[in-house]
Amino acid sequence: MTTTQSDLAGLSRFVFRAPRWYASLGFALALAAATGVAAFDAGQNASGWSRLLVLGQDAWEGVFFIGVPTVVAAFATTGVDRFLGGRLTYSRSSLLALASELILVVIVMTAGVVDVLTPLAQRFVYDALVLALASVFAFRLLVVLAVSRSSILVAAVPASIQTLAAAVLLFVYSGTLRFLEFGGPVLSAYLPRLFPYLSRTDEAPPALTAIGPNHFVLLGVTCGIYAVAVYGFLRVVDRPWRRSLGVSMLDFLRGFVGYVAEDSHELEAFFEDLGEEAVVPVSLLAFRRPDGTEKARFVLPMVHPGPMGEIGGGNLPERVARSTEGLAFAPHATAGHDFNLVTEREVDSVLDAVSRAESRLRFDDGATPSVRVERGEASILGQRFGDSALLVSTFAPGAADDVQFGAGMPARLAARSTGLEEVLLVDAHNCNVGLDVDEIPHVAPGSERAFDLHDGAEETGARLVERSPAPLRLGVAWDETSWDPDEGIGPLGVRVAVVEVAGQTTAYVLVDGNNMIPGLRRRILDRLASRVDAAEVMTTDTHIVTTVEADNQVGEKIASDALVALVDDLTATALADCEPVETATATERARVTVFGNDRTETLASHANAVVSIGGALAAAVILAAVAVSLLVFFLA
């Protein structure tokens, strides 16, 4: 992950899950009641029980005039939006209605304070009310356009519900109809019957009678101005995305918020439009008992388990584990975010490749002791199984993020060139400083680290080929742990495999998490030194732990001592579980759709640019729209 990509990932901290609709509406009604007490304080001269009764009346009027439009909008918006082809849920529309109510309350209450502190006339408050209702419409229009991707004319229908509901109540209870009484046979015939329903000033706060027809005309004009401003803003920020990526920013925004807020998979459709086809190696290292039952397997597809949560390949390790008979180990391969799978369906292509590889397995009971090779910053633990090898690379104690595909593939081929038939090259992904740095320490093609990895893999392969194989024994252990993804540990927990060959024991520790805090790997290895002759710690890089937080590394939220003790106990269990096994390796190629070369960087750059300039652009658009609105008010 580059710095640009980390900035994009960090934006997820601003997104939260939408509360249930009843929670949003409950808060909205309480806020409306409180606002009614503050705005319609008719009992300021009363005392005792009389004041309490008047305050209750004020609260009810707040619920009626402010809360009712919110409730109407919460339920009606979803129905109207879906009828018109949109995708708003009740939880989203309720939260949108609450946010709109907050905008209304803040503007009107601010205007009321200004009215008290300045010599401005009462008309200023009602002009502010018109501005608030128009602002609510503009805000709702922006959200509906982003979520439902309708045309602006279609989106304006559900977006206008809250403003329209409030305007209808104001029209009826302000007695505006009395200003419209004039002759004519139709009005003369029907107004006497309709008047009691369309003009109810006796049941409204006296302050509302100051509202007249001109306020509703201004409201309509202001809503039109704001609609044009919203449309222009979206066109400007969306244009770079369409020109360079061929996709809409609004599709990305809708999918991103939809997944984090409500677990929808709309984001996958966006990534599918963005992605490109790739052919990737998928390697399988299997271990079986003499009776033919599988004991364990290492599965290494050269894709990245991202981008987030269960979107794309984010939960790839668990999917791999569920598809096997024995205990599955799915460590991180040498691939970065450009090799994220675009949809969860692509994981099926990877599992199909694993099945094809399984059908070609030819088992052997020979393996070599493991070797450790240090080359520059790269450290590689390698072990040969039959004619193939498992290589686990790390740059610890130096911090490192993903080893990119273009750096890992040459290293893998360099190891194979020594005479090995297949090579599983694992990126241990076990030491990183997080995202709060100027430059993310990734391993890119052409870097010094890439050459260290290449030369180290080649030397490891050469040393393994020189060694003579011997019968092997394997023991495994697994603990799902009590930790959850919010604490940095995925559903696979901690898994340990111990390989015993010619009296040497080697432990492979796999933690279902996204990288590790510095120093934690070293503590685990020091603890295991008294139990085994060699060991390495790996993480799966599962992105199920990064739904809301961009890194959430192993060790950030859990006690390191507890993890070290758990790994030590599991290693002891795996040693006791050791038994003779046979081993086989095979590699197949999977045709999958991934993000694509440089697409992740381009996407991140565009998103960060929108964040950087979007706020300033939005402020400019708002100021321009308000200025035009004020001009209309003065002219009116």
Query: What's the confidence (pLDDT) of residue 184?
Result: 44
Residues 540-569 as b/e (b if ≥16 CB within 10 A, e otherwise) read bbbbbbbbbbbbbbbbbebebeebbebbbe
From residue 473, give the alpha-carbon distance in Å to each of 242, 298, 400, 613: 57, 16, 33, 60
Helices 161-173 and 213-244: angle between axes, nearest 10 degrees? 180
> How large is the greatest C-alpha to C-alpha distance in the chain, in angstroms?
109
In order of 12, 346, 429, 560, the CA distances from 557 in angstroms are 18, 31, 18, 9
State the pLDDT at residue 148: 73
Exposed/middle/buried for 364, CB within 10 Å: 0-12, 13-18, 19+?
A: middle
Which stretches of the chain score pLDDT less than 50?
4, 7-8, 11-16, 43-48, 182-188, 195
pLDDT tens per residue, range 386-422:
999 999 999 999 999 899 999 999 999 999 999 999 9
- pLDDT value, residue 190: 52
CA atoms 358, 359, 362, 363: torsion sign: positive
Q: Which pLDDT value is given to residue 548?
A: 52
pLDDT, position 200: 53
- How far is residue 32's CA from residue 166's CA, in Å, rounded to a whole number? 13
pLDDT value for 367: 97
Cβ contacts of residue 408 below 8 Å, gap of 6+?
Answer: 302, 333, 334, 335, 425, 427, 453
The pLDDT tens digits for 168-184 are: 887 777 655 555 554 44
Q: Give the model's pLDDT for residue 242.
A: 77
Determine how many CB atoms are found less than 10 A away from the CB of residue 273. Answer: 13
- Predicted confidence at residue 497, as pLDDT, reads 98
- SS3 at position 279: strand
Cβ atoms < 10 Å from Cβ of 181: 11
Q: What is the pLDDT of residue 207?
A: 59
Residues with Cβ within 8 Å of 479's Cβ and at least 6 positions away in sequence, in order, are 493, 494, 566, 570
